[in-house]
A and B are shown apart, each in its own frame.
Chain A
Amino acid sequence: MTSAHTLPPRVTDEKRGRKLLGGIALPVGILALLIAGSVLSEQFLTARNLTNVLINMSIVGIIVVGMTFVFIVRGLADLSVPAMVAIGALLALGLQPALGSLPAAMFGVAAASCAGLINGLLIGYARLNPVITTLATGTIVLGVAQAAVGGVIVYGDSPGLQSFLTGRLLGVPVIVLIFLAVALGGHLLLSRTTFGRWVYATGANPDATKASAVPLRFTKGAAFWMTATLSGFSGVLLGLTLQTARPGVGTGYEFDAITAVVVGGVSLLGGFGNMPRALGGLLLVTLLSNIMVLNGIATESQGLVMGALIAAAVALDVYLRRRGGAS
């Protein structure tokens, strides 16, 4: 019966309290977490801890920016993120002796970008299933990355870049500044450019979009290419900050990014959501994770909460659409 059900699009309608669920829930949730955090732990509301939260957010946040495009364009999800992060980190460190640190970093991003191009071609132009495709390309890229460095941990030898990245500019950690710049760029691209409009339209109604002379395949492919490139960039930053990288360095980043986007209320069914929402979701998830860590819950176990959050958020989205159809 599932295919017989027609789900209406999700629209923000001021009526019926839906706005409340969609728009206000997020800030309220964040506020509630801030209060809960400060009650539960004394360390929580310190500048030091909150700075940590911001830094933790930054690496994932760069990926979230890309993943938001994938979601809105109705591309489901990009599961090749860990591989792209890994290849970025491994190449940025592993190639330092040969190329110098900056070229090596650029090479890392370029490699992920090339792999992203393949994702884009396969998903946008050959119309393959995005989840299977990115799962497969991710496995391949990770294998290639491991083969390239011999499957071992690589260490960096360029403290210069590391200290720049971990340092501060005008009192703000540089890595946070980079994240904010990427986020702003992503936000403007999504909300203010032709391409951004194409992304929304493609996700909202692919048939009508194609009939409106929009390059549908390009738009979808580009979203995946962007996500891979940003993941590679994020990996480079991660590698340079840590100065070590192993092939498994990116594990879990895809879920963190997906969780943030979904919790932010960006619709997995396409066409709905925006960058501030996704980043709000990211902030909420990061705060939640921070509170759990401060209260002694290990990072690995937090997936219990995160998995439930994803299921709940998606179920809510499906529910809202069905309600939309009833009205």
Chain B
Amino acid sequence: MNALKKICESPAVLTLIHYRVVVILVVAVILSASLVPGLTEFRTLSLSLDRAATLGLVAVGLTVVLLLGKLDLSVGSILALSGIAAIGLQPQLGQLGAAAFGVCVGLLAGVLNGVLVVLMQINSLVATLASMIFLRAMCHFVTESNPISGADPLFGLAVSRSLGGTFSLRTFIFLIAIVLLFLWLTYTVAGRHVYAVGSNEDAATASGVRSGRYIFGAFVFSGLMAGTAGVMQSLATNTGSPVFGSTVTLTAIAAVVIGGTRLEGGRGSALGTLGGVLVLAAITTALEYESVPSYYQNIVTGSILLLLILLDRIASNSPRSALSLSSLLPVRSKEQSPAR
């Protein structure tokens, strides 16, 4: 273990870990390009990006939550519920109105999480676990556990059809969201505050940063993005299903973590998340092309995630984990000085 640790702490390896998303992305693209002929053609690229857009939108929201050192397990349920709202309410609200309402459902679910985590001080894992169960049940309740379909399948096509031979609408939304998030995190005061809170909440609070507001906001944002993803997915398939999004939580967390965002918060970037999503998109495309069953993909995704968090743990000198219950329990004396 010690020898392993020494190797992991060497500057070269640390740099590699730091830019791991680039390394992993290059490897994944080379592998899948060698398996899938014509992957590099624009049309194929556009298609696989379109497939990954739903995952990507969820990952964008989760990036902020993870940067703050929290976690949102309810995104899959939010995704399903928003989709159901966007399809099921079409007769009452019209197609656009229902879609907008679907997004609002995501937003409200995010507010619920924010209330549980910030106001009621429940650990984020547990709070979102509860809301995940609750919202999933809501999906089953309103649909009576049957998938529902919209009246007009053509309306939703706009979402996944490529615009003027380029990318589809949802791909655009995803890419714009990534760019905006990147700019926000890097260039605004609020964005830097997110890093500050995720990295050392006490220091941030002592400097006058209102940590609670950022955490609340992150959950609302995460809900909003999951809601948008759900609406897009449901419109594209013209279906609202209570079982949608059951695996998206893990995949989205994996995408964010592959992108270099630290589970404990404070480190990561929007561009990294883009990389993480692309990695998973490349793997998915390749495996699907080889007609490997989807459960193999789960094995690959899960293994990458485990390997990365294990590497992070070995490489990081501070065992401090904001995700553990330590944030809720008596503080372990004083935080060690961050350098060591």
User: Direct contact between A and B in the complex (CB less than 8 angstroms)?
Assistant: yes
In the complex the two chains form, is A146's CB within 8 Å of B319's CB? no
**Residues in chain B near residue A6, CB distance under 8 A:** 329-331
Type the 1/0 row for A73-86, where 1 means its CB is closer than 8 Å to any CB of B. 01011000000000
Q: A132-B263, A133-B309 are in contact. Are A311 and B331 (CB under 8 A)?
A: no
In the complex the two chains form, is B133's CB within 8 Å of A139's CB? no
Interface centre among A2, A4, A147, A304 (most CB of B within 10 A): A2
For residue A254, give the distance in angstroms from its CB to the closest CB of chain B.
9
Of the four ranges (under 10, 10 to 19, 20 to 34, 35 or more), the interface on chain A belongs to 35 or more
Type the 1/0 row for A195-215, where 1 means its CB is closer than 8 Å to any CB of B. 000000000000100000000
Main secondary structure of the interface of A (DSSP, over half): helix
**Residues in chain A near residue B71, CB distance under 8 A:** 131-132
CA of A133 to CA of B137 in the docked complex: distance in angstroms?
A: 25
Interface centre among A132, A133, A302 (most CB of B within 10 A): A132
A116 close to B (CB within 8 Å) = no
Those of A296-327 within 8 Å (CB) of chain B: 298, 300-308, 310-311, 314-315, 318
CA of A310 to CA of B133 in the docked complex: distance in angstroms?
A: 9
Chain A, Cβ-Cβ closest to B319: A127
Residue in B253, B295, B329 whose beta carbon sits within 8 Å of that of A269 in the complex: B329
CA of A142 to CA of B298 in the docked complex: distance in angstroms?
A: 8
CA of A76 to CA of B324 in the docked complex: distance in angstroms?
A: 8
In the complex the two chains form, is B126's CB within 8 Å of A76's CB? yes
A161 close to B (CB within 8 Å) = no
B317 close to A (CB within 8 Å) = no
Can you give 15 A-B contacts (C-beta < 8 A)?
A3-B331, A6-B331, A77-B125, A126-B313, A126-B314, A129-B324, A131-B71, A131-B129, A132-B309, A140-B302, A207-B332, A247-B295, A258-B129, A298-B141, A318-B120
Q: A1-B212, A298-B145 are in contact. Are A128 and B140 (CB under 8 A)?
A: no
CA of A300 to CA of B144 in the docked complex: distance in angstroms?
A: 8
Q: A207-B332, A310-B130 are in contact. Are A128 and B310 (CB under 8 A)?
A: yes
Those of B292-331 within 8 Å (CB) of chain A: 293, 295-299, 301-303, 305-306, 309-310, 313-314, 319, 321-331
Q: Which residues of A contact B (CB under 8 A)?
A: 1-8, 74, 76-77, 122, 126-129, 131-133, 135-140, 142-144, 146-147, 151, 207, 247, 255, 258-259, 268-270, 298, 300-308, 310-311, 314-315, 318
Residue in A129, A146, A298, A304 whose beta carbon sits within 8 Å of that of B321 in the complex: A129
B102 close to A (CB within 8 Å) = no
**Residues in chain A near residue B10, CB distance under 8 A:** none
CA of A268 to CA of B324 in the docked complex: distance in angstroms?
A: 12
Residue in A3, A137, A144 whose beta carbon sits within 8 Å of that of B327 in the complex: A3
For residue B306, give the distance in angstroms from its CB to the closest CB of chain A.
5
**Residues in chain B near residue A298, CB distance under 8 A:** 140-141, 144-145
CA of A5 to CA of B145 in the docked complex: distance in angstroms?
A: 42
For residue B21, give the distance in angstroms from its CB to the closest CB of chain A.
18
B8 close to A (CB within 8 Å) = no
B242 close to A (CB within 8 Å) = yes
**Residues in chain A near residue B313, CB distance under 8 A:** 126-128
In the complex the two chains form, is B137's CB within 8 Å of A304's CB? yes
For residue A236, give the distance in angstroms from its CB to the closest CB of chain B.
21
B211 close to A (CB within 8 Å) = yes
Q: A7-B328, A315-B122 are in contact. Are A307 and B302 (CB under 8 A)?
A: no
Residue in B126, B253, B299, B319 whose beta carbon sits within 8 Å of that of A268 in the complex: B126
In the complex the two chains form, is A311's CB within 8 Å of B131's CB? yes
In the complex the two chains form, is B130's CB within 8 Å of A1's CB? no
For residue A94, give the distance in angstroms from its CB to the closest CB of chain B.
15
In the complex the two chains form, is B299's CB within 8 Å of A311's CB? no
